Amino acid sequence: MSIRRKTKELQDRMNIALSGGGEKAIEKQVAMGKLPARERVEAILDNGTFHEYDLFVEHQAKEFDMDKKILNADGVITGTGTIYGHSVCIYAQDFTVAGGSLGLAHARKITKIMDHAMKLGIPIIGINDSGGARIQEGVNSLAGYGEIFFRNTLASGVIPQISVILGPCAGGAVYSPALTDFVFVVDKISKMFITGPEVIKTVLGEEISMDDLGGARVHTEITGNAHFYAETELECFEQIKKLVTFVPWNNKKKADKFPTRKPRSKFKIDGIIPTDSKQPYDVRDVINSIVDDSDFLEIQEGWAPNMVIGLARLNGDTVGFVANQPLVMAGVLDVDSSDKAARFIRYCDAFNIPIITLVDLPGYLPGIDQEHAGVIRHGAKVLYSYSEATVTKITVILRKAYGGGYIAMNSRHLGADFVLAWPSAEIAVMGPEGAANIIFRKEIAEAENPEEMRKLKVKEYKKRFANPYAAAAYGYIDAVIDPTETRSYLMHALDVSKNKQELRPWKKHGIPPF
Amino acid sequence: MKISKKIVPSSLKRRRSRETKEEIVEKKVEKSAGKDAVELKEVPKAAQNESGSADTLKEEKQHDAKKAESSKEKPVSVKNIRSKKTSDTVEEVSPLKQLIQFGVGYSKYSTYPSKKFLARKLFVPANPNQLLAFIPGTIVDIRVAEGDKVKAGAILLILDAMKMRNKIFAPFDGIVKILNVELGQNVKKNELLVEMQ
Domain boundaries, chain B: 2-119, 130-196
Per-residue exposure over B39-78, b if at least 16 CB sit within 10 Å of its own CB, e if not: eeeebbbbbbbbbbeeebeebeeebeeebeeeebbeebee
pLDDT value, residue B195: 92
d(CA B137, CA B181): 12
Would the CB atoms of A206 and B18 count as touching at under 8 Å? no
Contacts of B21 in chain A (CB under 8 A): none
| Min Cα–Cα distance to chain B from A335, Å | 11
DSSP three-state, residue A493: helix
Residue-wise DSSP of A232-289: SHHHHHHHHHHHHHHS-SSTTSPPPP----PPPTT--GGGSS-SSTTS---HHHHHHT
Contacts of B107 in chain A (CB under 8 A): 278, 362, 431-434
Check CB contact of B162 with chain A, cutoff 8 Å: yes
CA A415 to chain centre: 23
Q: Which member of A203, A217, A362 has the closest CB to residue B107?
A: A362
d(CA B31, CA B11): 21
Q: Are B129 and B120 in contact (CB under 8 A)?
A: no
CATH architecture of residue range(s) B130-196? Beta Barrel (2.40)
User: How do residues A329-348 score in pLDDT, each as one tens digit?
Assistant: 999 999 999 999 999 999 99
Q: Which member of B20, B106, B136 has the closest CB to residue A204?
A: B136
**Average pLDDT along chain A:** 93
| Min Cα–Cα distance to chain A from B179, Å | 21
CA angle A483/A489/A493 to nearest 5° reads 145
Contacts of A462 in chain B (CB under 8 A): none
pLDDT band at B47 (very low <50, low <70, confident <90, very high): very low
pLDDT value, residue A1: 60
Q: Which member of B108, B114, B188 has the closest CB to residue A329?
A: B114
d(CA A347, CA A300): 14
What's the CATH superfamily of A269-429+466-496? 2-enoyl-CoA Hydratase; Chain A, domain 1 (3.90.226.10)
Q: Which member of B110, B112, B120 has the closest CB to residue A278?
A: B110
Distances from the Cα of A229 to the Cα of A179, A232, A240, A298, A484, angstroms: 18, 9, 11, 11, 33
Q: Are A403 and A430 in contact (CB under 8 A)?
A: yes
Does residue B19 carry a pLDDT above 70? no
Closest chain A residue to the Cα of B189, Cα to Cα: A204
Would the CB atoms of B110 and A304 count as touching at under 8 Å? no
Does residue B46 carry a pLDDT above 70? no
Rounded to 10 degrees, what is the CA torsion of A33, A34, A36, A37? Answer: 170
d(CA B51, CA A194): 32
Residues 79-118 of B with CB under 8 A from A: 99, 102-117
CA B174 to chain centre: 34
Closest chain B residue to the Cα of A455, Cα to Cα: B72
Does residue B3 carry a pLDDT above 80? no
Contacts of A362 in chain B (CB under 8 A): 104-105, 107, 109
Closest chain A residue to the Cα of B95, Cα to Cα: A328
The amino acid occupying position A373 is: A
Contacts of B112 in chain A (CB under 8 A): 280, 327-329
Q: Which long-range contacts (CB under 8 A, 24 or more apart) does A36-40 make?
A: A36/A94, A36/A96, A37/A77, A37/A92, A37/A93, A37/A94, A37/A95, A37/A96, A37/A127, A37/A129, A38/A77, A38/A92, A38/A94, A40/A92, A40/A127, A40/A164, A40/A166, A40/A233, A40/A237
Report the pLDDT averaged over residues B82-105.
67
d(CA B64, CA A118): 58
User: How do residues B115-158 score in pLDDT, each as one tens digit?
Assistant: 888 888 888 888 889 999 988 888 999 999 999 999 999 999 99
pLDDT value, residue B11: 39
d(CA B161, CA B186): 10
Distances from the Cα of A55 to the Cα of A10, A164, A432, B42, B186, angstroms: 11, 21, 67, 67, 50
Residues ≥6 apart with Cβ < 8 Å to B173: B149, B150, B151, B152
Closest chain A residue to the Cα of B72, Cα to Cα: A451
Closest chain B residue to the Cα of A451, Cα to Cα: B72
Does residue B61 carry a pLDDT above 50? no
Would the CB atoms of B99 and A366 count as touching at under 8 Å? no
Q: What are phi and psi of A410, to 5 degrees?
A: 50, 55
| Min Cα–Cα distance to chain A from B8, Å | 8
Domains A2-246 and A269-429+466-496 share a fold: yes
pLDDT value, residue B83: 41
> For residue B196, what are the β-bridge partners?
B176
Contacts of A280 in chain B (CB under 8 A): 7, 99, 109-112
Would the CB atoms of A279 and B188 count as touching at under 8 Å? no
Closest CA to A205 of B131, B98, B137: B137
Options 3.30.420.130, 3.90.1150.10, 3.40.50.620, 3.90.226.10; CATH for A2-246 is 3.90.226.10
DSSP three-state, residue A466: coil
Contacts of A332 in chain B (CB under 8 A): 104
Contacts of A281 in chain B (CB under 8 A): 3, 6-7
Q: Which member of B99, B104, B123 has the closest CB to residue A280?
A: B99
Q: Domains of chain A: which residue ranges?
A: 2-246, 269-429+466-496, 432-465
d(CA A61, CA A103): 9
Closest CA to B34 of B23, B26, B43, B25: B43
Q: What are phi and psi of A444, to 5 degrees?
A: -70, -45
> How many CB atoms within 10 Å of residue A53?
16
Residues 48-77 of B with CB under 8 A from A: 71-72
Would the CB atoms of B105 and A281 count as touching at under 8 Å? no
DSSP state of A222: I
pLDDT value, residue A411: 95
Question: Which residue out of A204, A337, A368, A462 would a mutagenesis test of the B interface target, given it has the greatest number of B Cβ atoms within 10 Å?
Answer: A204
Closest CA to A248 of A183, A157, A341, A321: A157
d(CA B177, CA B191): 16
Would the CB atoms of B104 and A454 count as touching at under 8 Å? no
Contacts of A304 in chain B (CB under 8 A): 114
pLDDT band at B98 (very low <50, low <70, confident <90, very high): confident
- Name the pairing type of β-strands B164-169 and B155-161: antiparallel
Closest chain A residue to the Cα of B105, Cα to Cα: A434
CA angle A146/A149/A153 to nearest 5° reads 140
Would the CB atoms of B102 and A330 count as touching at under 8 Å? yes
- Taking only the tens of pLDDT, chain A with its 514 residues reads 688 889 999 999 999 989 888 889 999 999 988 999 999 999 999 999 999 999 999 888 888 888 888 888 899 999 999 999 999 999 999 999 999 999 999 999 999 999 999 999 999 999 999 989 988 898 999 999 999 999 999 999 999 999 999 999 988 889 999 999 999 999 999 999 998 888 888 777 788 999 999 999 999 999 999 999 999 999 999 999 999 999 999 999 988 999 999 999 888 998 899 988 889 999 999 999 999 999 999 999 999 999 999 999 999 999 999 999 999 999 999 999 999 999 999 999 999 999 999 999 998 988 888 999 999 999 999 999 999 999 999 999 999 999 899 999 999 999 999 999 999 999 988 888 888 888 888 888 888 888 888 888 888 888 888 899 999 999 999 999 999 999 999 999 999 999 999 999 999 999 999 8
The ipTM of this complex is: 0.80
| Min Cα–Cα distance to chain B from A256, Å | 29
Q: Which member of A279, A431, A451 has the closest CB to residue B110?
A: A279
Question: Terminus-to-terminus CA distance in chain B, angstroms?
Answer: 60
HSE (side-chain half, CA atoms, 13 Å) at A171? 15
Global pTM reads 0.83
